[in-house]
Amino acid sequence: MNKWGFHMVDSCFTAAEMCAVGLGIDANTFTERMKLGPHLLAPTASDSTKYDVGTNFAGFHYDLNFITIHGKSKYPGLFLWTREMQRFNAVVPDGCLLLQAGIMLE
């Protein structure tokens, strides 16, 4: 599990560097701020067939970090929200990871 977790964290660092380069800033601008951060490997997948419809596992929330990464889930239930507050299912194709990057707007 740790090996997979390190691969996921490394993927986030690579994406952060790519973002910085795309923005025309130093490649390490974001990654320097990510070092020693609270990188958590949280296996939150839940089998929604075992619970009543409407059961809330994580609810609407803000992530604490700059980038959140998800692997393909065995179970449905990961939703993403647009700025217009429209919900849609997150679909992660085989062999891919889903990265969410964002800022908190006040």
The residues spanned by each domain of the chain are 2-101
Q: Return all residues near 21 (Cβ < 8 A) that are at least 6 apart.
A: 27
Q: Which residues pair with 68 in a beta bridge?
A: 100
With H, G, I as helix, E, B as strand and everything else as coil, classify residue 87: strand
Question: Which of the pair, 54 or 19, is modelled with greater confidence?
Answer: 19
CA distance 17 to 3: 21
Does the pLDDT of residue 27 top 90, yes or no?
Answer: yes
Residue 48 has phi, psi (to 5 degrees) of -70, -10
Check residue 104 and give its pLDDT.
52
Query: Is there a contact between 52 and 65 (Cβ–Cβ < 8 Å)?
Result: no
Question: Which of the pair, 61 or 16, is modelled with greater confidence?
Answer: 16
Check residue 50 and give its pLDDT.
79
Q: Quote the pTM value.
A: 0.68
Residues 10-21 have a mean pLDDT of 94
Residue 28's CB: how many other CB atoms inside 10 A?
A: 14
pLDDT tens across 56-94, in order? 666 655 556 678 888 887 777 778 888 898 988 888 899
Question: Which of the pair, 83 or 1, is modelled with greater confidence?
Answer: 83
Residue 106's CB: how many other CB atoms inside 10 A?
A: 3
